[in-house]
Amino acid sequence: MTRPLSRASQARRTASSLDLAAEPPREGELKQAWIYRQIRSRILDGVLAKGARLPSTRHLALRWQVSRATVDLAYDQLRSEGYLVSTSGSGTYVAATVPDQFFDAGARAAEAPARRAKQARGIDIAPLLTSEIGEPFVARVADPALFPLDGWRKALQAGTRCVTAEQLSDRESLGLGRLREQIARYLGVARGISCDAEQVIVLSGIRHGLDLCARLLLSSEDRVLVEDPGYLHAAPIFSRHAREVVHVPVDASGFSVAHARRRAGVRLVHVTPAHQARRASRCRCRDASNCSHGPRKPTAG
Give the SS3 label for residue 254: strand
Domains of the chain (ranges; CATH) run 7-101 (1.10.10.10)
What is the enclosing helix (H) or strand (E) of 225?
Answer: strand 223-228
| pLDDT in single tens digits along all 301 residues of the chain | 444 444 444 443 434 457 666 788 888 888 999 999 999 988 888 888 888 889 888 988 888 889 999 999 999 999 888 889 887 777 898 888 777 655 444 444 444 444 444 444 444 444 445 555 555 655 556 667 778 889 999 998 988 888 887 777 767 788 888 889 999 998 888 888 888 899 999 988 888 989 998 999 988 888 899 988 888 888 889 988 888 898 988 877 788 888 888 887 888 999 887 766 544 444 444 444 444 444 434 334 3
Assign 71 to helix, strand or coil. Answer: helix
CA-based nearest residue to 56, from 92, 84, 20: 92
Query: Phi/psi at 191 (nearest 5 deg)?
Result: -115, -5
pTM of full prediction above 0.75: no
**From the centroid of its chain, how far is CA 89?**
28
